[in-house]
Amino acid sequence: MHELSIAEEIISIVRRYLPKENNANVKTIRIKIGKLSNILPESLLFCFNASIEGTELMGAKLEMKSIPLTIHCSGCGQTSELEDYSSTCLTCGSSNIKVLSGDELQLEEIELND
């Protein structure tokens, strides 16, 4: 259940980026969640909504984009998408692989209400 810590980190980063001079009103916060990041989107959303209640961010929407797990094999040159993590290439069995995507846990952008 570290989704609460993640929600708090998101809120703290967002606050650092908000313009100080006017009362910026946040409409949407967009984040990327890789398949390997061990985050349950429903749980993160619950923690996020609970954490912004009664704050200046109340009403902000958390938009989560799931990033699939993809690997590249230097053995056969194939790039493949995996359902479950494996350190071997599904095509040729080589363990000379590199994770291309799936590790993401990134805050992309904030959209403000004008």
Partner 1 sequence: MSIITIERKILEKNDTIANQNRESFKEKKIFVLNFVSSPGSGKTSLIEKTLDVIKDNIKIAVIEGDVQTDLDAKRVAKYGVPVVQIVTNGACHLEAALVKDAFEQLNDREINLLFIENVGNLVCPAGYDLGENMKVVILSVTEGDDKPLKYPAMFRNAAVLIINKVDLIPYVNCSLSELEKNALGINPRLKIFITSCTSMEGIPEWSKWLKSNIL
- Residue showing tokens 């990041």: 37
* Minimum separation from the CB atom of position 78 to partner 1 (A): 18
Q: H-helix or E-strand containing 113? A: strand 105-113
Strand order in the sheet with 79-82: 79-82, 69-73, 97-101
Position 38 contacts partner 1 (CB under 8 A):
yes
Q: Closer CB to partner 1, residue 12 or residue 23?
A: 12
- Which residues form the interface with partner 1 (CB under 8 A)? 1-2, 5-6, 9-10, 12-14, 17-18, 31, 36-38, 84-88, 95, 105-112, 114
